[in-house]
Amino acid sequence: MSPARRPILLIAPSLVFMTALFAWPLIVAIGQAFTGPGGPTTAHLERMIDDPYFWPAARNTALLIVVLIPVQFALALTMALLLRERPKFAGFYFYVWVVPLAISDLAAGLVWLAVFTDRGYLNSIFHTDYAYLSHEHPTTMFLAVIVAELWRATSLVFVIIVAGLQGVPKDYDEAAEVFGAGYVKRLRHVILPQLRPSLQVALILRTILALETFAVAQALTGRNLPLLVGETYQWYGFLQNPNVASAIALVILAVSLLAAFGYLRLMREAHR
Amino acid sequence: MTQRVNRRTLLAAVASTPLLAACGGVSTSGSGGEGSVDFLSTQFLPVEERQRFEKILADHVKTKVGFNPIDASVFATTVQSQVDAGQTKVSLLGGLHGDLAPQKDRLMDLDDLAKQLSDRQFPADLIELGKLGGGSLKYVPWMQATYLLAVNKAALQWLPSGADPQNLTYDQLLAWVTAGRQGNGGKPIFGFPGGPKGLNHRFFQGFLLPSFTGGQITTFRSPEAATAWQYMKELWAQTAPASTNYDFMQEPLERGEVMIGFDHVARLVNAPKSKPDDWLMVPAPKGPKGLGYMIVIAALAIPKGAPQADKAKEVIKALTTPSIQVEVLRANAFFPVAKAELPGDLPKPISLEAAGVKAQQSASSAIVSLPPVGLGAKDGEVAQIFKNCFKEICLDGKPVQAVLDDQAGKLNAILDQLKVACWKPDPAGSPCKAM
Amino acid sequence: MKRLALQAGCIAITLFMAVPLYLIALAAFSSRESLNRFPLPLLPTDFSTETIQGFLGSTGVVPAAINSVMVGLSTVILALLIGVPAGYALARYAFRGKQPYQLFLLLTRALPIVVLSVPLARIFLASGLYDTTYAVTLLHTALALPTTVLITSAVFVAVSPEQEEAAQIFGASPLTAFVRVVMPQALPGIAAAAVFTFVMSWNEVLGASILTLNQRTLPAQVLATLSFSPLAYRFAGGFALVVPALVFIAIMRKYLLNMWGTTLR
């Protein structure tokens, strides 16, 4: 086995596996978006764009990503750095902070619905009657989804960063400290650069998953806050139109790829 | 130290894989197994409904049935992929009219079975529906339901004078909920299943529009329809805004979030459970043209290539016998389609509903609506048009006639492709379109 | 002072993460009537196991749980076997087609499964694997591969190649060098990938629903119906579904936290 062939052999099983399973469904899905009874057509795309829910869904999805991802990363980084200082009960904290990972998004939606609903826990604690999730209050509706998603999905980023932090040698950090660098300086110049590969992976994965999951948003707001993936399900299931569903799915795919490509480019350094 | 632990665990994991691989899985559908009928259903998903129905199957149906209730879109995927691939594994399908209609080309013809069931005396309307717009019978009616208004007796204090809850008009309903809201400190007392899984489109198709216009499709943008939607706008202003999140009304009613609610009988039945004497189940209100109401049909069908088609037919025969139909009513609040005498010992919530249903059906000015016939896969898109009318008129506040004209255009675009005949309450005649 | 601020921060975050869990448990173990009251009780005053018992006693819950465990563990093993070598390749080698390969992996994860469901079901029907736990394992492995490959590659990058080369100079084969030098250091990443894989597989609903009929996994059997069930059942179901994943994380926690603060060089 020559060293040149080695990488190909190592990735071969994964390539074969994914191709065997996904290649044909992928082609079928792409095909469905562009074929009609008379051959290739853009009719489905036009239908998708004309739909009153499409642009709000696209806007909401974009807004969700732009607000959620930075906040999640900030929170996850804070959590990882807090634990890095090895406070007492670190083990216990770590376990509790990872637990939301185990919760399915359906269950997470249920819990936060119970918190935010009209006669839910939030209103119970403050003895108020505010309709957080009503379509009349779009801001609180959106914020509720952000909070619920923050709770549910930050653990993913947190675990990746923690795993990545393991590889950051304490020597550099301690050396920098000895030479008088403050915490923020150490963070920016020693720790974060070493975390780059993990952060990159976490960003890509989290963005793609954020574009995908909508169960929590749907549990909380129904179709009052339309999202792209929710529309995919709606067109596929209720409206029995797999063509438009595929078209929307391709939009999601395109955005995900763009984001992934962007991240890979942005974070490409001398490291790799 | 760490390395040794790693290796040991790794070895153990790898060694146990062959063991895991040896089992293909443990069966999860109760009495499944060799030779049993795989019954795929979109009905009776909730855990308790499912258990009660399985008990009925076990106690009263001789053939072994593996009951598998699943979500509607998984239902569609399963039927489609199995039948199209020629590898049908399920033998019996149970679903609403809207679940089975898109699959009409994948269902077996059941004309011979229908002949054997002539003594069940299914209403002729339902048999007609079961042909799904074609020539032969594709499904056998299984159960039916309709919509009622559930009223907590505490709301009666605001009933306008001279109004009889069993005989309301839409205007009286509006006056009632308006007074109720004022009396309740500004908090609406009326709720509506406007959630994503709510069946509010059936309300518009089968209740509101026929009561005001006498039709469903042909009168879609007539002046009477505009009046109907204007009314709906006013009613919505008095409805609990949380209704856009309500899929089922029974919980908000039970919790006291609203006091009057309109919904499918099976989705109302739990509301009176704890205190049946506090509740009334009344027919839907009357409009200028009469009391429009729609029946919801659940039916049984056999997919093409079913492995146990004959046994499935036995199950259909059993499930349509009057005694079992009454058992299903008792258990899950779905009403019989076969001619059956209702016993006097039904649970209180069910007998409340039965009374309401009877009153509704025998009203002098009743206008029966059927769910759309022959739309196939477009059933959902047509339903969406009605939902969009609601959204644009009531939620977005757009001008009524403009929205109706716009949506009528979209409706006709779909109907023109299908060229189907109109169904009740519109006069029969093809092709059906909004005038 | 710094210690206090540290603890305060940790506690604040812990509360945010833990309170909803407490609420699930509370609601799962409350009687149905207490869930209809307003204001909702915040303390377990109405303790009752009736909903949980009802839930556990419903058809097929225990066999479905067994299926889920089998699928989950098999998926982890298969995904690691296929994914770890690929992650290593991504970390160590710069080969042609590296970026297209990464994008290809992500592409498959970026398409909602619902759109792929009919062709996927047909593949498994045609291969005779329909309605077996193998089918679900294969699907879940495919869904887990992108995470596994990418996370392990990020962690392998951090392990210096010099150590491997040193081991090989001293006579170890490339494989031995990998297993005895690289893997122990990359264990947190591998453990992280294992945790994600198991949890993803455990909670995955749609794929499992379309690929099975009578040999369902727990989510396929139960989760999908939760939204139609009464409130109390939804909480009981949500709670019961969490427990095994919690156990798995408790086990893997040790590997995730391996080598806190050890000097690596």
In this structure, the number of other CB atoms found within 10 A of the CB of residue B111 comes to 12
Contact residues of B toward A, CB < 8 A: 71-73, 76, 102, 187, 195-196, 241-242, 244-245, 255, 257, 377-381, 383-384, 388, 391-392, 395
Output A36 or A19, whichever has higher pLDDT.
Answer: A19
Cα distance between residue C222 and residue C218, in whole Å: 6
Residue with tokens 């729609």: B294
Does the beta-carbon distance from A86 to C92 stay under 8 Å? no
Which of B245, B246, B247, B384 to mutate: most A Cβ within 10 Å?
B245
pLDDT band at B423 (very low <50, low <70, confident <90, very high): confident
Q: Are C229 and B47 within 8 A, CB to CB?
A: yes
Q: Taking CB atoms and an 8 Å cutoff, what residues of chain B touch C225?
A: 45-47, 50, 69, 71
Local confidence band at A190 (pLDDT 50, 70, 90 cut-offs) = confident
Residues B67, B130 within the same domain: yes
How many angstroms separate the CA atoms of B189 and B114, rounded? 46
pLDDT in tens, A41-63: 888 888 888 888 899 999 999 99
Per-residue confidence (pLDDT) for residue B20, from 0 to 100: 54
For the full predicted model, state whether its pTM sits above 0.90.
Answer: no
CATH at B182: 3.40.190.10
Which of A26, A120, A260 minimises the CB distance to C103? A260
Residue C173: per-residue pLDDT: 82
DSSP B172: H
B417 → chain A, closest CA residue: A37
Q: Say if A108 falls within a structural domain.
A: yes
pLDDT digit string, tens, across residues B312-331: 999 999 999 999 999 999 88
Of B73, B241, B378, the CB nearest to A134: B241
> Does residue A127 sit in the same domain as residue A10?
no
3-class secondary-structure state, position B161: coil
DSSP strands (E only) in B317-365: none
Cα–Cα nearest to B68, from B82, B53, B84: B53
Which residues of B fall within a CB distance of 8 Å from A136? 241
Q: Which of residues 144-173 of C touch B (CB under 8 A)?
A: none
Task: Name the DSSP class of B148.
Answer: E
Q: Residue A118: in which H helix or E strand, if any?
A: none
Q: Which among B381, B391, B395 has the least Cβ separation from residue A239?
A: B381
Taking the Cβ of residue C254 and every Cβ of chain B, the question of whether any pair is shorter than 8 Å is answered with: no
- C218 in helix, strand or coil? helix
| Shared domain check, A161 and A81 | yes
How close does chain C come to A96, measured CA to CA in Å?
A: 7
Domain boundary assignment for chain C: 1-48, 59-262
Same domain, B231 and B285: yes
Query: How many C-alpha atoms does A63 have within 13 Å on its Cβ side?
Result: 15
Q: For C221, which of B14, B28, B251 is closest by C-beta distance?
A: B28
pLDDT digits (tens, 9 = 90+) for A61-70: 999 888 999 9
Q: B25–C132: do the CB atoms touch at under 8 Å? A: yes
Rg over alpha carbons for chain A, rounded to the nearest Å, is 22
Per cent of chain B over pLDDT 70 is: 93
Top pLDDT among B427 and B318 is at: B318
A232 part of contact set with chain B, CB < 8 Å: no
Question: Averaging pLDDT over each range in A139-148, A159-168, A179-188, C228-237, which range is the top one?
Answer: A139-148
What would the mean pLDDT of A161-166 be, rounded to a whole number? 80
What number is the average pLDDT over the span A130-151?
87
Number of domains making up chain B: 2
| Cβ contact A205–C219 (<8 Å) | no
Least confident of B215-224, B232-241, B259-268: B259-268
Please judge whether A11 and C85 are an interchain contact, meaning their C-beta atoms are less than 8 angstroms apart: yes
CA-nearest of C186, C172, C197, C195 to C90 is C186
For residues B348 and B381, membership in a common domain is answered with no
Q: How far apart are CA A230 and CA B9, in angstroms?
A: 41
**Tokens 């173990």, residue?**
C29
pLDDT tens for the 265 residues of chain C, in order: 778 888 898 999 999 998 888 888 888 887 777 777 767 777 777 777 887 787 777 777 788 888 888 999 999 999 999 999 999 888 888 888 888 888 888 877 788 888 888 888 888 888 888 888 889 999 999 999 988 998 888 888 877 788 888 888 888 787 888 888 888 888 888 888 888 899 889 888 888 888 888 888 877 777 666 666 777 777 777 787 777 778 888 887 777 765 433 332 2
Please report where in the chains the tokens 């569609």 appear, as a residue.
B76
* B388 and B267 in a common domain: yes
pLDDT of the residue at A6: 79
pLDDT at A82 over 80: yes
Residue in A closest to B256 by C-alpha? A119
Does residue B254 share a domain with residue B177? yes
What Rg do the C-alpha atoms of chain B give, in angstroms?
24
CB contact under 8 A, B17 and C134: no
Q: Answer yes or no: do B25 and C58 touch at CB < 8 A.
A: no
pLDDT of residue B4: 47
CB-based contact A156 C196, cutoff 8 Å: yes
pLDDT at B318: 92
Question: Rounded to an integer, what distance in angstroms lies between the CA atom of residue A192 and that of residue A189?
Answer: 7
ipTM for the assembly: 0.82
Is C38 within 8 Å of B256 when comparing Cβ atoms?
yes
d(CA B181, CA B176): 9
CA distance C162 to chain B (A): 20
Question: Does A50 fall in a domain?
Answer: no
Instruction: Note whether B213 and B269 are same-domain residues.
Output: yes
Distances (CA, A) of B395 to B188, B399, C238: 16, 11, 33
Query: Which pLDDT belongs to residue B14?
Result: 55
pLDDT in tens, B87-115: 898 999 999 888 888 888 999 999 999 88
Of B102, B255, B257, the CB nearest to A240: B102
pLDDT for B1 equals 42
**pLDDT (tens digit, 9 = 90+) per residue, B136-170?**
999 999 999 888 999 999 999 999 988 888 889 99
Among B16, B46, B82, whose Cβ lies nearest the Cβ of C229?
B46
Could you tell me if A129 and A261 lie in one domain? yes
Q: List chains adjacent to chain C, taking adjacency as at least 3 C-beta pairs closer than 8 Å.
A: A, B
| Beta carbons of B384 and A238 less than 8 Å apart | yes
Q: Is the dihedral of CA B362, B363, B365, B368 positive or negative?
A: negative
Quick one: A265 and A191 in the same domain?
A: yes
Residue A46 within a domain: no
For residues A36 and A59, state if they share a domain.
Answer: no
* Mean confidence (pLDDT) of chain A: 84
- For residue B435, the distance in angstroms to the closest alpha carbon of chain C comes to 36
Provide the chain A residues 151-210 that lie in CB contact (below 8 A) with chain B.
Answer: none
Instruction: Answer yes or no: do A166 and A62 share one domain.
Output: yes
Residue B308: DSSP 8-state: T
For testing contact with chain B, the best of A240, A243, A244, A246 (most B CBs within 10 A): A240
CATH number at residue A88: 1.10.3720.10
**With an 8 Å Cβ cutoff, are C158 and A105 in contact?**
no
The reply to whether residue C63 touches residue B28, judged by beta carbons under 8 angstroms, is yes
- In a domain, residue B425? The reply is no
One domain, residues A121 and A184: yes
Segment B39-67 mean pLDDT: 88
Structure tokens at C247: 């156990």
Q: Does any domain span residue B435?
A: no
Handedness of CA B161, B162, B165, B169 (dihedral sign): negative
Least confident of A18-27, B31-40, B297-306: B31-40
Confidence check: pLDDT of A173 > 80: no
Range of the domain at B56: 16-145+296-368
- CA C136 to chain CA centroid, Å, is 14
C32 touches chain A (CB under 8 A): no
Q: Is residue B273 part of a domain?
A: yes
Which of the residue ranges B15-19, B274-278, B429-433 would you say has the lowest mean pLDDT?
A: B15-19
Residues found in chain B: 435
Q: Are residues B260 and B383 in the same domain?
A: yes
Statement to judge: residues A93 and A218 lie in one domain: yes
For the residues of B377-424, what is the DSSP string, one character each? GGHHHHHHHHHHHHIIIIIS---HHHHHHHHHHHHHHHHHHH-----T
How many Å apart are CA C20 and CA A116, to the nearest integer? 11
Task: Quickly count: other Cβ atoms within 10 Å of residue B172's Cβ.
Answer: 18
pLDDT in the model for residue B10: 57
Specify if A190 maps to a domain: yes
pLDDT value, residue B56: 93
User: Residues, chain C, total?
Assistant: 265
pLDDT surpassing 90 at residue B362: no
Q: Are residues B170 and B102 in the same domain?
A: no
Decide if domain C59-262 falls under CATH 1.10.3720.10: yes
Contact criterion met (CB below 8 Å) for B240 and B257: yes
Residue B259 CA to residue C55 CA, distance in Å, equals 30
* C210 to B69: CB separation less than 8 angstroms, yes or no: no
Of residues C111, C112, C155, nearest to A167 (C-beta): C155
Shared-domain flag, residues A67 and A37: no
Give a yes or no: residue A49 inside a domain: no
How much of chain B exceeds pLDDT 90, in percent?
36
Q: Which of C81, C212, C225 is the mutation pick for testing B, counting most B CBs within 10 A?
A: C225
Query: How far is A85 from B206, CA to CA, in rounded Å?
Result: 65
Taking the CB of residue C136, how many other CB atoms lie within 10 A of it? 32
**Residue B420: phi, psi to the nearest 5?**
-105, 160
- Residue A47 covered by a domain: no
Question: Do both B194 and B72 map to the same domain?
Answer: no
> Does the pLDDT value for residue B74 go beyond 80?
yes
Domain limits at A11? Answer: 1-41
Identify whether residues B166 and B188 lie together within a single domain: yes
Enter the tokens of residue B378.
């477009």
Q: Which residues of A207-244 are buried (b: 16+ CB within 10 A; e: fewer)?
A: bbbbbbbbbbbbbbbbbbbbbbbbbbbbbbbbbbbbbb
CA atoms within 13 A on the CB side of B153: 7
Using CB atoms, which residue from A134, A218, A236 is nearest to B242?
Answer: A134
pLDDT of residue A270: 39
Closest Cβ–Cβ partner in B13, B47, B82 for C125: B82
Put simply, the answer to whether B244 touches A222 (Cβ < 8 Å) is: yes
Q: Stretch B19-46: mean pLDDT, rounded? A: 72
Neighbours of B73 (CB within 10 A): 22
Helix (H) or strand (E) holding B302: none
Burial class (CB in 10 A: 0-12, 13-18, 19+), C39: middle
B257, pLDDT greater than 80:
yes
CA distance B381 to chain A (A): 5
- pLDDT (0 to 100) of residue B11: 58
Name the domain count of chain A.
2
Residues A105 and B419: their CA atoms lie apart, in Å, by 43
**Closest residue on chain A to B376 (Cα):** A240
Shortest distance between the Cα of A136 and any Cα of chain C, in A, equals: 22
Are the C-beta atoms of residues B423 and B130 closer than 8 Å to each other? Answer: no
User: Are residues B277 and B177 both part of a single domain?
Assistant: yes
